[in-house]
Amino acid sequence: MNEAATRSPSSATHSEGDALAIVEAWQARVRDAVARRKPLCIRGGGSKDFYGEAPQGDFLDTRACSGIVDYDPTELVITVRAGTLLREVESVMAQHGQMLAFEPPHFGSDVATIGGAVAAGLSGPRRPYAGAVRDLVLGVRIVDGQGADLRFGGRVMKNVAGFDVSRLLAGAMGTLGIMVEVSLKCLPQPRAEQTLVWEMTAAEALRHVNEWSVKPHPISATCHYRGRLHVRLSGAEPAVVAAARALGGTAMEEGRAFWRALRDHAMPPFDQPTELWRMSVRATAPPLDVMGEQVIEWGGALRWVVCASRPDVVELRRLAAAYGGHATLFRARERHVAVFQPLNETLMGIHRRLKATFDPAGILNRGRLYPDL
């Protein structure tokens, strides 16, 4: 394996000795914070500071520890330090014809880190067809809330020891540990892609994408947006050509730019200075009767609702629950309600036990998921 395949191109890349020193410094900071009962705000580039409850505590910048630890494209696994810039990880992988299958959003930022992408647990348009963040995490190394340096999982897909613990870190928003390294499954980039567009209503779009989901079409993304259904096909060229012929629609020349803009919320109506709600529901749920412009992704399972004014939050969450899901206040000028839908007693009990195990003093990203955790 050549050196170019194993190191990040970042000038901030650290040697193994430097990285060890940084981890030891983090351990000392954690122990000091525990002694002083002073919370720490675990933060990479800050590209997702808007997401979750408000950050609190003294900042600990994870970008201090960066670089690709191990990457053998033939094994389809990459191990990278959490502070490495997301764009740099993707650039190195692209040189070998590979990608992060969960298509992590950058939100227009050049400072988003791989650790932040995993900690936030957010996936892009490809998620229903290639897997979520947690599905592709093979192993992690963290500093927990007591200053212990812990490893879970491994660097190869055959090693499943501690796999479930590794997956807990995806979406935990840094509340269970400071991520030092993460090992992720890679996916080959598709040989061909094409985006098709149809003029149709939301109800028609939902009916079509649900019908197509049980057929062997190489669909890798769907989006209904302002009266138009967009479908991305990805895979071997013969399969993409055959599916495009069978489905019909109009080919979209700027398909790649469209999906990138959707992933990063760099298009209307996401650019409006209003409240943005993320509703996770069953793919078969009908168009939701809510006030606000909607963007429907993931074959119908993800509904973005852009509200010009504050909605009835109780009704919004009741509606999401009725269709087997939940509603999250994804972005707002001010957080006026709990960001994440309240959990039932059983699930909250699991959260509390996990927090007590990994961070008994409650100093790591205190309150980012729920105000009292």
Residue 8 is predicted with a pLDDT of 39
pLDDT tens, residue by residue, 65-104:
999 999 999 999 999 999 999 999 999 999 999 999 999 9
Whether 46 is covered by a domain: the verdict is yes
First and final C-alpha spacing in the chain: 44
For range 259-283, the mean pLDDT:
95
Domain limit, last residue, from 263, 292, 320 = 263
Q: How many CB atoms lie within 10 A of CB 310?
A: 12
Q: Are residues 99 and 140 in the same domain?
A: yes
Angle at 271 between CA 269 and CA 275, to 5 degrees: 75
Residue 148 shares a structural domain with residue 215: no
In a domain? residue 337: no
Residue 149 banded pLDDT, cuts 50, 70, 90: very high
The domain total for the chain is 2
Burial of residue 164, with CB atoms counted within 10 A of its CB: 0-12 exposed, 13-18 middle, 19 or more buried: exposed
Containing domain of residue 171, as a range?
3-188
Distance between CA atoms of residues 44 and 357, nearest Å = 24
Same domain, 229 and 150: no
Residue 268 lies in a domain: no
CATH number at residue 259: 3.30.70
Q: Domain check: are 203 and 73 in the same one?
A: no
Q: What percent of the chain has pLDDT over 70?
A: 94
Q: Name the pLDDT band for 373 (thresholds 50, 70, 90).
A: confident
Residue 280 lies in a domain: no
Residue 51 has, within 13 A of its CA and on its CB side, a CA count of 20
Looking at the structure, do residues 78 and 53 belong to the same domain, yes or no?
yes
Confidence of residue 108 (pLDDT cuts 50, 70, 90): confident
Tell me what pLDDT residue 6 has: 46
Torsions phi, psi of 86, nearest 5? Answer: -60, -40
Residue 346 lies in a domain: no
Q: Report yes or no on 137 lying in a domain.
A: yes
> At 100, which CATH number?
3.30.465.10
Per-residue pLDDT tens over the stretch 315-370: 999 999 999 999 999 999 888 899 999 999 999 999 999 999 999 999 999 999 99
Residues 99 and 248 in one domain: no
Query: With contact defined as beta carbons under 8 Å apart, do 41 and 57 qualify?
Result: yes
Q: pLDDT digit string (tens) for 194-222?
A: 999 999 999 999 999 999 999 999 999 99
Both 154 and 250 in a single domain? no
Position 113 in a domain: yes
Could you tell me the pTM of the whole model? 0.92
